[in-house]
Structure 1
Amino acid sequence: MGTNRIQWKNGFCDGIPIGLGYFAVSFTFGILAKKAGLTLFQAVVISLTNLTSAGQFAALGLMGASATYLEMASAQLILNLRYCLMSCALSQKLDAKAPFIHRFLLAHGITDEIFGVAVCKSGKLNPFYNYGLMSSAIPGWTLGTFFGVISGEVLPERIINALSIALYGMFIAVIIPPAKGNKVLTGIILLSMLMSSFFAKLEIFHHVSPGFKIIILTILIAGIAAFLFPIREADEDCSAGGKSIAPALQEGGLT
């Protein structure tokens, strides 16, 4: 029990920067949700139960277009399909005897940033570490939405635009530390950025959803990395000096 408490505290501290970043991004979502006609309660419940910026912002557009429940569900499935891959990767770090309830709860709290932090933990992953991450990240996302709805149209346009790009700053904060001193990982990250830009320019992908593009990039880049730089030891971690390319699974999804 004492170990679980320590793991939760460590996760909570590591998740504070994530929560602060989420607050800024979801603040913008709250403002847009109010403009779309959602009530304070509706906007907060959406953020509390979804935890996905791309999915939630897309949902506002679908609501405005009076989309059906089937269209809404299909769009959310495609946009958030990358979390299936993240769940598979993260499940490999859990103890094989971990109860189903832990896996179920961890699945709800998987986001790009939480996955990025959790997958880089050395050794087996204690579920309570992820609970700590979720305990500081989820309130940041939910409270940001709450205050965004309340603020409404009070803030000037330039501040709203600045808040909307805060998520990209979080992505950079996730990928830089493990890439320091690791030329292989640095190369994979740069490759993922180049390929992401290339995909954005290709006309054939213009009609492919952003979520599905992420899936294609993740599988392609992770496959290339796994083929060229296979992991020699099963227990190898993804620290800055290690040879593991596990973060590449994530970076393909972030770009």
Structure 2
Amino acid sequence: MKKEFTQGLRDGAPIMAGYFAVSFSFGILAVQGGLSLLQAALTSLTNVTSAGQFAGLQIIVAGGTLVELVLTQLIINLRYALMSLSLSQKLDERISLWQRLIIAFANTDEIFAVAMAHAGSLTFPYLVGLQILPILGWTAGTATGAVAGSLLPAALTSALGVALYGMFIAVVVPVARRARPVLAAALLAVAMSCVLTALHISAGVSIIVCTVAASAVMALLHPVEGGDAL
């Protein structure tokens, strides 16, 4: 058991480093948006979802409604349901229901990828070890960014905030180069976002419409063959 937990810590250490860097930017943006250090840190500690948190922060800052916030989180984080179903096929049969509830909390994209690549069945000690450091890194990065955002010059914090969008572009570009439908979906979402912004549509509604519409259009135009085999 101790060996499995230690292996999980080793596998989670690189994820922690990446999470710290990304959440640092979230902490800066959260403070700029009016959140306190404690509010920003608690947001990361209780959510651990990059895209969901950034979208949620945008809606909060824009004064959006709870309905917009809930629908946005549902759409953005719906992928976690599919990831959890896939991950459950590798879980050790001795893992109980309450243990499943614990490890489901931090089933993020990166943790899911590492867990699925792990040889053999997944035990509870291994998954706990795998998730602890990324959770701490995500929360600590947010807190550090929030402190830096309140101390650093405005010009520097703005530059760091822009770097976040560069990260998102870096995530999309490699996939878009291999798959034209992904590029088309991204460009379509950008175009619709520009139109909705010009029409003064709220940030929450804009995110929901762009995400659903772009995904639906590309799913109809470019369906994935053999989509039932995850």
**TM-score interval w.r.t. the shorter chain?**
0.7 to 0.9
1:38 paired to 2:10 = no
TM-score normalised by structure 1 residue count: 0.69
Structure number with the bigger relative contact order (C-alpha 8 A, sep ≥ 6) is 2
Which structure 1 segments of 5+ residues have no match?
176-188, 227-248, 250-255
Note the C-alpha offset of 1:85: 0.4
Q: Distance in 1 between matches of 2:18 and 2:213?
A: 21
Note the C-alpha offset of 1:200: 2.4
Q: Distance in 2 between matches of 1:143 and 1:37?
A: 19
Q: Is the 8 A contact 2:29 2:161 kept in 1?
A: no
TM-score normalised by structure 2 residue count: 0.76
Which structure 2 segments of 5+ residues have no match?
193-208
**1:67 is matched with which residue?**
64
1:147 paired to 2:144 = yes
Aligned match for 1:28, one of 25, 30, 41: 25
State the 4+ residue runs in structure 1 displaced beyond 6 angstroms. 189-192
Deviations 1:202-247 (A, max 9, x none): 57x9443179849x87xx6583483xxxxxxxxxxxxxxxxxxxxx
Q: Distance in 2 between matches of 1:113 and 1:142?
A: 16
Alpha carbons of 1:161 and 1:57: their partners in 2 closer, same or farther (altered >3 Å)?
same
Q: Is the 8 A contact 1:78 1:212 kept in 2?
A: no
Aligned with 1:223: secondary structure? Answer: coil
Q: Is the 8 A contact 2:23 2:141 kept in 1?
A: yes
What is the CA RMSD across the aligned residues, in angstroms? Answer: 3.1
The amino acid that maps onto 2:181 is M
Note the C-alpha offset of 1:136: 0.9
Q: Distance in 1 between matches of 2:149 and 2:66?
A: 27
Q: Distance in 2 between matches of 1:198 and 1:166?
A: 19
**2:44 is matched with which residue?**
47
**1:113 is matched with which residue?**
110
**1:208 is matched with which residue?**
210
Q: Is the 8 A contact 1:26 1:141 kept in 2?
A: yes
Structure with the larger helix share: 2
Alpha carbons of 1:149 and 1:125: their partners in 2 closer, same or farther (altered >3 Å)?
same
Q: Is the 8 A contact 2:99 2:124 kept in 1?
A: yes
Note the C-alpha offset of 1:133: 1.4
Q: Distance in 2 between matches of 1:211 and 1:30?
A: 30
Deviations 1:44-99 (A, max 9, x none): 11000111111111111111222222321121111100000000000010134420
Q: Is the 8 A contact 2:27 2:142 kept in 1?
A: yes
Q: Distance in 2 between matches of 1:211 and 1:80?
A: 16
